[in-house]
Structure 1
Amino acid sequence: MSTYSIKDLEQLSGIKAHTLRIWEQRYDLLQPKRTDTNIRYYDDDDLKLILNVALLNDNGFKISKISKMSPSEMRDEVIRLTDRNLTHDDQIHALTICMVEMDEERLEKVLSTNILKFGFEQTMLNIIYPFLSKIGVLWQTGAINPGQEHFISNLIRQKLIVAIDGQVSKYTGKKFLLFLPEGEMHEISLLFAAYIIKAKGHQVLYLGQNTPREDLKAVYRLHRPKYLVTVITTSPSQDNVQEYLDELSQNFQDSEIVVSGYQIVGQDLNFPKNVRALHYIRQLRDFVEEINEVMVEK
């Protein structure tokens, strides 16, 4: 079971810590535990409760009424609400609850409902990515355990693979080679890049996680792609990213290399002439659309 500080609850629920403390005192809404050194902390049940409270409160329920609900009444009301036409923030709350409860059936329903309503691309951009960003920092600090993170990422990965397979293309566009560096296993952004590129009519050569340098060179020699795309989240480390970018630029001089990820965004790096950094996943969509516009003009 994970433990959370009141700041963790604030980040995940959007309810200010000051407000949470008032609700504790006035409505006995939360009952924090204490460590041997008298430090307050909260558990998974507290997090589930406050996420449900936040969603209900955002949709017009007064805290005085919410505090009188039983856990089952609260959950039923939350499910009823998330089945309706709610905001992106409400859906992100619903996904967070599914993650904490490890509720695969409910998660599947939330994702499928949003995909049907908004389309796969908009669901990724407006709901799934903000959700992953929201939980990412807490996972790194240990507030969310690796099992919960793997549960979520594997289900999203499955959705991405199905969506990619569903794209029927005649490959009239350019050839893209997608890969992750050696040691890099965070694949969701690369899979979504594959979806976007394929949906726009281009050919995707997908090498995926942990691609050895020599394998990358061999595939490149065989296919001569116009573009290479990679995402650097953890590997190579920050100290070695510049060297890695320079190496990519030198080895694949005839192609444009598109890079993104945690080790790229906001870092003090010098990008070689044939390397382009994207700071947001939306920029990849814009980049591919620019290519399509040039192709049409020609």
Structure 2
Amino acid sequence: MDCEKKLYAIREVSEITGVKPVTLRAWQRRYSLVQPQRTEKGHRLYTDQDVALIGEIQGWLNKGVPIGKVKAVLESNVSLDGVELVGVEQLEEVAKFLQALADLNKSKADAIVSTVLKEYPLDVVDSQFIQPSVKALSLVRFGLRSLQKGLMDAILSARLSAIIDAENKAARSGRCLFISSDSINDFGSRLWALKLSQLGMHMVIIDGVDDLSGLVEHSGLGAYQVLALYSSRPLGPTQTATIERIKHSFDGEVLLSDLIEH
């Protein structure tokens, strides 16, 4: 008799693949890409074959294939091996998003961000949507760039924060205190916080902290397993020295954003 196949709940699949549950649902409902089994109560159950298929989908997305065209590529039986980028290095939604920002059309820009965050894994959103948008805005005349960048920051920060709040409800891998030296509308901090959140940690975020000395030997840190420190700007020698003191007084893991580390 064959061994019973292992089945995974959607949250387990999300932890294994790094693809958000909302994205897995969108791939099923809108694109018919992954069709899991259902329990009597309607909960999705995925097989190892489903998990492998999700990995293949991620591979095609990383090579530039839009989510709407992945099913046709899968059905063509083309192998990922040896295939270079087959599409543009940015999502087609980038142009629409930039136009909405130029028109100061918040509702349209927000709807585009919402769709992209639902339909694509976070690494694809970052590399093929956010980074190309930031690069394009850097070429806009300064006065207009400030307006459009401000609108983009507000929309992305709000959307990413909402996802973090939703992820917190299912967190089961400890608590992370996330300290940012930037304002609440810095989407870079939220992007990194969401990546940590998807590791299963419950995120507690504090923004606008320009002096880290209060964290040294703070008794409240005992409630956290991870301390994440974020800054979009390199820190000075005083703050760098403070971080070293924090590391020595904190029993958990200290994570630093790229600009702090370097």
Please state which band the TM-score falls in when normalised by the shorter chain: 0.5 to 0.7
- 2:100 counterpart (88, 98, 101): 98
Give the distance between the partners of 1:251 and 1:132, measured in 2 at CA: 36
Q: What aligned pairs does 1:1-298 form with structure 2 within 5 A after superposition? A: 88-119=90-121, 121-122=122-123, 124-135=125-136, 137-138=138-139, 142=142, 144-169=144-169, 171-181=171-181, 184-185=182-183, 187-210=186-209, 212-213=211-212, 215-217=214-216, 220-224=218-222, 225-234=224-233, 236=235, 240=236, 242-253=237-248, 254=250, 255-261=252-258, 263-264=259-260, 277=261
Equivalent position amino acid for 1:191 in 2: R
Bigger RCO (CA 8 Å, 6+ sep)? 2
**Secondary structure of the residue that 1:102 maps to in structure 2?**
coil
Q: Is the 8 A contact 1:98 1:107 kept in 2?
A: yes
Deviations 1:251-281 (A, max 9, x none): 33134432225x44xxxxxxxxxxxx38xxx
- Name stretches of at least 5 consecutive residues in structure 1 with no aligned partner: 1-81, 265-276, 279-298
In structure 2, the gaps of 5 or more residues are 1-65, 70-86
Aligned identity (percent) is 9
Greater Cα radius of gyration, structure 1 or 2: 1
In the TM superposition, what whole-angstrom CA distance separates every residue of 1:71-127 from its partner, at most 9, and x where no partner exists?
A: xxxxxxxxxxx9x769634222222222211122321232233233225x2453233
State the distance in 2 between where 1:153 and 1:175 align.
26
| Contact 1:160–1:191, Cα closer than 8 Å, also in 2 | yes
Q: Is the 8 A contact 1:180 1:209 kept in 2?
A: yes
Structure 1 distance, partners of 2:226, 2:168, is: 20
Relative to structure 1, is the Cα distance of residues 110 and 170 closer, same or farther in structure 2, using a 3 angstrom cutoff? Answer: closer
Coordinate RMSD, CA, aligned: 3.3
Q: Is the 8 A contact 2:226 2:253 kept in 1?
A: yes
| TM-score when normalising by structure 1 | 0.49
The superposition leaves residues 194-240 of structure 1 with CA deviations (integer Å, 9 ceiling, x where unpaired) of: 2222232213221122354355447x42133333222222374xxx2
The alignment covers a number of residue pairs equal to 175
1:156 maps to a residue whose letter is L
**Deviation of 1:165 (Å):** 1.8
- Note if contact 2:179-2:207 (Cα within 8 Å) is conserved in structure 1: yes
